[in-house]
Structure 1
Amino acid sequence: MRKRIISLLIMLILICSICMSVSAVDVPNLTRKGTITVTMHAKKDNKDVIVPGGTLTLYRVGEIHEDDGNYSFIPTGDFVGCGESFEDVQSPELASRLAAYAEKNVNNKGDTKNVSDNGVVTYENQELGLYLLVQYEEASGYNKANPFLVALPNMEDGKYTYEVDASPKVNVKQDSGKKTPPKTTSKLPQTGQLNWPIPLLVVSGMVLFAIGWILCFGRKKSDDET
């Protein structure tokens, strides 16, 4: 009898443990909306700096799909025909392909905002889903950020958060190394010959010619007298 009671207690403990484990799994609240905050930053002079300026465009590319308690994203809206699978939403290649699709087929219908002086863009009151962010206009002195995806809500430490932060990194533009050519003038460059001896040579030639002419004329006159 005692063994049966102990067995029943063990079974009850196991059942309670299973129920607690199941109840600990968080599920997204599909009635809620969320916020996506993006902070642009870069590595400059070995320091992490905020990058203000430029724009950022937000596209809602996927909606939440529930299948027997499992949640995933499927294409939605203008992206239904993209032909992409959203199994790996952290894939940079997937983000790049979706950005190319958006540029060709969506006609810039995204929500475009300017990056603030603090390097921040905030999209509030957004429906839950998978979002694509694309930078079409870069900040001065920096390259464009690569397209990236943000899930809303996002799973953090086993819990869904509806206030999602993203921090894409951009690169500083490199100097092309081309130097600006010096300003030219209308004067032609010298070839190494100086001009100042020319008048002196002309005068010297005339003097020598005169001396020679005088000598020649004097000798002729002397011959005539003899």
Structure 2
Amino acid sequence: MTKNIKMFSVAVLIALVICFTPCISVFGFVVPDPDKPTSLSMTLKYSGDDVLYVSGAEITLYKVADCKTTSSAVSYDLTSGYAASGLDLDGKITQSMIDDLVKYTDANSITGITKSTDNNGEVAFDGLESGVYLVSATSLPDGFSSFVPFLYYLPFFDQDTGAWVYDGVAEPKISYYPPVDITVKKVWNDDGKDRPASITVQLENEDGIVDTVVLNSANGWKHEWTNMRADKKWTVKETNVPKGYQVTYSSAGLDFTVTNTAKLIQTGQVQWPVPVMVFAGSFLICAGILIKLPGKKKDEE
């Protein structure tokens, strides 16, 4: 009787352990606790000749998938915002897929959690739900660019310790380009009589039109843009070129010159003398022949 009671007590204890410890299955497979809060801390810095910490960068987390668990398995279900994204979390995730996910996020105006880095380039997201997060920079200070977006699983399984890690730490890749200054100058190649009072110039790069300025005599027909990104390909373009002028562009580095040259005016030519001159020429030729013939006959006699 005592033996049966002991066996029953052990069975009850095992049942209680199974019921109140969802992280361990009956088969010994460890699964995470999906209800336990997670966090993600990041440090943004550029390690070149000098270490530069990125202060004031806006980092945004977008929850892409929810973490689901059973007694023996972990799965991730796309959230409603990303259900139509076509992302397959069960397959291999490439950087191009993540870049497409960023475009999908922007195109569908999906909102996330945004925080800014401090003076040490650090930012922390606490109290996060378990799941998969897209990490992207929505704003970077001047000079910093090329933040590489990435996916982060919270929690994630640490192969070395054999445990689930609920507090993640990341150091995203980032590039730094010292800001540059860009100048544009207007040069006129004309007599000044038909010159307009002003012209408009656009500053452009591969992303499109960045700024539009008006050049005139008040600003010396020139303009300077300061603290511009050095990793962009900059060009200038004059809009609505004045009638009667031809525009050409030249540059020395990021110093652009826009030259407007007045076109030569072609005056009309009087056409009526042409037929008269042709007729007169033909008449003179015929007259010359007629005059020469009698002389030729006389010589033959």
Q: TM-score, normalised by structure 1?
A: 0.62
Deviation string, structure 1 residues 68-124 (Cα, Å, up to 9, x no partner): 72213221131111111012575322321211110001x141111112111111111
State the secondary structure of the residue aligned to 1:73: strand
Counterpart pick for 1:37 among 36, 41, 46: 41
Which structure has greater strand proportion? 2
**What is aligned with 1:223?**
none
Q: For residues 35 and 89 of structure 1, what CA distance do their matches in structure 2 show? A: 24
Counterpart pick for 2:174 among 170, 174, 198: 170
Counterpart pick for 1:123 among 125, 135, 148: 125
The 1:80–1:55 alpha-carbon spacing in structure 2 relative to 1, beyond 3 Å, is same
Amino acid at match of 1:178: G
**What is aligned with 1:4?**
none
Q: For residues 82 and 73 of structure 1, what CA distance do their matches in structure 2 show? A: 14
Deviation string, structure 1 residues 7-44 (Cα, Å, up to 9, x no partner): xxxxxxxxxxxxxxx53x43101121111111112222
Q: CA deviation at 1:67?
A: 6.1
**What is aligned with 2:90?**
87
Q: For residues 121 and 90 of structure 1, what CA distance do their matches in structure 2 show? A: 25
Which structure has greater helix proportion? 1
Amino acid at match of 2:144: Y
Unaligned runs of 5+ in 2: 1-26, 179-229, 232-251, 258-301
Counterpart pick for 1:69 among 58, 68, 72: 72
Q: For residues 256 and 101 of structure 2, what CA distance do their matches in structure 1 show? A: 42
Paired residues of 1:53 and 1:140 also in contact (CA < 8 A): no
Deviation string, structure 1 residues 107-164 (Cα, Å, up to 9, x no partner): 1411111121111111110100000011121122111411111100011122101110
Q: For residues 87 and 149 of structure 1, what CA distance do their matches in structure 2 show? A: 13
**What is aligned with 1:8?**
none
Say if 2:52 is the partner of 1:52. no
Amino acid at match of 1:56: I
Q: For residues 114 and 137 of structure 1, what CA distance do their matches in structure 2 show? A: 9
Q: TM-score, normalised by structure 2?
A: 0.48
Amino acid at match of 1:84: L
Q: For residues 67 and 83 of structure 1, what CA distance do their matches in structure 2 show? A: 25
State the secondary structure of the residue aligned to 1:169: coil
Paired residues of 2:68 and 2:76 also in contact (CA < 8 A): yes
Counterpart pick for 2:105 among 102, 113, 133: 102
Which is higher, the Rg of structure 1 or of structure 2?
Answer: 1
Tell me which of the two structures has the higher relative contact order, counting C-alpha pairs closer than 8 angstroms and 6 or more residues apart.
1
Unaligned runs of 5+ in 1: 1-21, 183-226
CA RMSD of aligned residues (A): 2.9
Identity of aligned residues (%): 24
Q: For residues 95 and 71 of structure 2, what CA distance do their matches in structure 1 show? A: 29
